[in-house]
């Protein structure tokens, strides 16, 4: 990308460099600012570097232009711009994709952050929310009425990205995935149509955007079902990481009532103020606990987990649900890691022991294996009801190793692959929202069997030219 001396006209490479078909496209940024009422940001602008920044480190993409539309009509206009110029299009909500798919070199970033309207119907227990909002934004807004919808476990993720990928989080065992609470959506398609979709209108597209990622259009707002939730008993519970403790934590949580969801992170103890200095760097269970049932029942449900070992720290208490989103205020945190997501049908004591041995001897100072018991309401939905088709899998596991620079990537990736291979059992599978650099090769694991075939047919109908390809891509059938 080469800015001209006046800083307003950009000469941009486009095409497929692998086929040596690069051509030159000129973008008149001044004309774009007249074309769109929303913000247009280009190289040379004072806010360009902050606007192109993403949550995760390790990527340094330089878009030709970033456009922040003000309404769905302008979203359609940005899509039309991509068609006219042939420049690659990336769609950004919260910017949390681990490999930077929400930005693009020499292309167009459609940044939804200015689409922030929210309309709560307390009597109907629904909310229409535009996809420039984050999970934290929506959670706090509906909490004022004692209501909730489950997203994930991080408040800064955009609701568009987490919802289109499925939405596994703290309320999933009780109320299902985020997509199980979607009643309708507004979608701007590759040809610029603005469609209202639900079970009775464009039902195939409605099915596909619930789990199929951003392959089928730009969702500009969702209508969610809300649930009464005055508060939860939740927070962080840190225990020493022994095979008995880790296996017991996972087993007890999986057998608990649906109201309990946990995330069991096994990792070196961070140097937090409440962690004794002699434990820094030792392996601990950094557990995130959320009990969404009556507060007076939480103690009984959590007792078997607390009894596994003397806690290093126990911060589980009655809190507002949005307080489960920990550590969202630090905008300077940009971790760089290599990771792999998978499902497992079995996590027995012997396997946990082997995983702990690998964690103890791993090459990276910071590494983690995360266990998420699933089941509950997730498993009571048919595999073919949405594009998320892993309903019966009892456990999700994520393995990550943080990098100390590009020179450490190869050894850290190998450790992640080997550890994941040790854990994997049952049919291959992947949660699309957690796929990283392996997204292309594992897309069929995210969408197995008939799910993949149906998605490719819907892709052919709504995006035959594969305009929306900066994602875990599902190509059009044929």
pLDDT in tens, 4-16: 223 344 445 445 4
Q: Exposure string (b/e) for 236-263, b if CB count within 10 Å is 16 or more?
A: bbbbbbbbebbbbbbbbbbebebbbbbb
Is the residue at 268 inside a domain? yes
Residue 162, domain CATH: 3.30.465.10
Average pLDDT of the residues in 177-203: 98
Average pLDDT of the residues in 343-354: 98
Is the residue at 442 inside a domain? no
pTM comes to 0.92
79 three-state secondary structure:
helix
> Does one domain contain both 175 and 237?
no
User: pLDDT category, 281, cuts 50, 70, 90?
Assistant: very high
d(Cα 241, Cα 413) in Å, to the nearest integer?
23
State yes or no: pLDDT of 204 exceeds 80. Answer: yes
Q: Six-digit token pair at 230?
A: 């005055």
Is the residue at 456 inside a domain? no
Is the residue at 425 inside a domain? yes
> Does one domain contain both 419 and 296?
yes
β-pair partners for 182: 224
Burial of 336 (0-12, 13-18, 19+ CB in 10 A): middle
Domain of 72?
2-111
Q: Exposure string (b/e) for 292-306, b if CB count within 10 Å is 16 or more?
A: bbeeeebeebbeebb
Is the residue at 440 inside a domain? no
DSSP per position, 87-109 = --EEEESS---TT-TT--TTSEE
> Does one domain contain both 387 and 373?
yes
> Does one domain contain both 92 and 206?
no
User: pLDDT category, 327, cuts 50, 70, 90?
Assistant: low
State yes or no: pLDDT of 180 exceeds 90. Answer: yes
**pLDDT tens digit sequence for 365-400:** 999 999 999 999 999 999 999 999 999 999 999 999
> Does one domain contain both 361 and 264?
yes
183 three-state secondary structure:
strand
Share of the chain above pLDDT 90, in %: 85
User: pLDDT category, 23, cuts 50, 70, 90?
Assistant: very low
Is the residue at 247 inside a domain? yes
Is the residue at 338 inside a domain? yes
> Does one domain contain both 353 and 242?
yes
H helices of 102-226, in order, are 135-143, 159-165, 172-175, 203-209
> Does one domain contain both 213 and 284?
no
Query: Last residue of some domain: 165, 194, 228?
Result: 228
Which of the pair, 197 or 53, is modelled with greater confidence? 197
- Report how many helices (DSSP H) and strands (DSSP E) the chain contains, helices first: 13, 22
> Does one domain contain both 184 and 310?
no
Give the chain's domain count: 3
Specify the pLDDT at position 19: 40
Specify the pLDDT at position 6: 35
DSSP per position, 437-478 = TTTTTTHHHHS-HHHHHHHHHHHHHH-TT----SSS--PPP-
State yes or no: pLDDT of 38 exceeds 80. Answer: yes
Q: Six-digit token pair at 190?
A: 């590759």
State yes or no: pLDDT of 340 exceeds 70. Answer: yes
d(Cα 31, Cα 22) in Å, to the nearest integer?
24
Query: Last residue of some domain: 176, 203, 228?
Result: 228
Specify the pLDDT at position 24: 47
**pLDDT tens digit sequence for 136-175:** 999 999 999 999 999 999 999 999 999 999 999 999 999 9
State yes or no: pLDDT of 63 exceeds 70. Answer: yes
Is the residue at 215 inside a domain? yes
270 three-state secondary structure:
coil
State yes or no: pLDDT of 475 exceeds 70. Answer: yes
User: pLDDT category, 330, cuts 50, 70, 90?
Assistant: low
Residue 31, domain CATH: 3.30.43.10
The two beta strands, 9-14 and 23-28, are antiparallel
d(Cα 32, Cα 35) in Å, to the nearest integer?
5
> Does one domain contain both 7 and 126?
no
d(Cα 413, Cα 339) in Å, to the nearest integer?
8
DSSP per position, 205-239 = HHHHHTTSTTSS-EEEEEEEE-EE-S-EEEEEEEE
> Does one domain contain both 70 and 126?
no
> Does one domain contain both 82 and 126?
no
412's enclosing H/E stretch is helix 409-423
Residue 343, domain CATH: 3.40.462.20
Which of the pair, 27 or 110, is modelled with greater confidence? 110
State yes or no: pLDDT of 471 exceeds 70. Answer: yes
Sign of CA dihedral 109, 115, 116, 118: negative
d(Cα 178, Cα 169) in Å, to the nearest integer?
8
> Does one domain contain both 268 and 410?
yes
Check: CB of residue 240 under 8 Å from CB of residue 285.
yes
């Amino acid at each position: 990308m080469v800015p001209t001396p006046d800083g307003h006209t950009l000469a941009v490479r486009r095409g497929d460099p692998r086929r040596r078909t690069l051509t030159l496209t000129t973008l008149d940024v001044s004309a774009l600012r007249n074309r769109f009422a929303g913000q247009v940001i280009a190289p040379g602008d004072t806010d360009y570097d902050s606007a192109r920044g993403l949550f995760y480190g390790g990527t340094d993409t330089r878009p030709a232009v970033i456009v922040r539309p003000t309404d769905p009509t302008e979203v359609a206009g940005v899509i039309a711009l991509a068609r006219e110029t042939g420049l690659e299009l990336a769609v950004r909500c919260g910017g949390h994709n681990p490999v930077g798919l929400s930005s693009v070199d020499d292309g167009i970033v459609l940044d939804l952050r200015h689409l922030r309207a929210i309309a709560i119907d307390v009597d109907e227990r629904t909310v229409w929310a535009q996809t420039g909002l984050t999970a934290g934004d929506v959670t706090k807004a509906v909490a004022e009425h004692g209501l909730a919808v489950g997203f994930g476990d991080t408040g800064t993720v955009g609701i568009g990205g987490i919802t289109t990928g499925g939405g596994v989080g703290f309320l999933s065992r009780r109320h299902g995935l985020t997509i199980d609470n979607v009643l309708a959506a507004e979608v701007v398609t590759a040809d610029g149509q603005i469609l209202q979709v639900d079970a009775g209108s464009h039902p195939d597209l409605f099915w596909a955007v619930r789990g199929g990622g951003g392959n089928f259009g730009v969702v500009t707002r969702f209508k969610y079902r809300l649930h009464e939730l005055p508060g939860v008993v939740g927070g962080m519970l840190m225990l020493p990481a022994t095979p008995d403790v880790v296996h017991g934590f996972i087993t007890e949580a999986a057998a608990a009532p649906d109201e309990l969801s946990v995330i069991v992170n096994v990792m070196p103890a961070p140097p937090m103020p409440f962690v004794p200095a002699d434990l820094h760097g030792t392996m601990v269970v950094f557990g995130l606990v959320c009990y969404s049932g009556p507060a007076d029942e939480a103690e009984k449900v959590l007792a078997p987990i607390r009894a596994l070992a003397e806690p290093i720290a126990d911060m589980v208490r009655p809190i507002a649900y949005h307080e489960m989103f920990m550590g969202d205020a630090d905008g300077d945190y940009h971790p760089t890691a290599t990771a792999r997501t998978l499902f497992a049908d079995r996590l027995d004591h012997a396997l946990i022991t082997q995983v702990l041995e690998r964690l103890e001897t791993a090459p990276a100072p910071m590494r983690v294996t995360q266990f998420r018991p699933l089941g509950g309401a997730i498993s009571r939905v048919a595999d073919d009801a949405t594009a998320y088709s892993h309903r019966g899998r009892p456990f999700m596991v994520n393995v990550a190793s943080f990098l100390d620079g590009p020179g450490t990537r190869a050894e850290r990736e190998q450790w992640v692959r080997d550890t994941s291979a040790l854990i994997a059992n049952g049919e291959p599978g992947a949660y699309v929202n957690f796929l990283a650099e392996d997204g292309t090769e594992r897309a069929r694991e995210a969408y197995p069997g008939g799910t993949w075939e149906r998605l490719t047919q819907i892709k052919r109908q709504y995006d035959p030219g594969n305009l929306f390809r900066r994602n875990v891509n599902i190509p059009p059938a044929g």
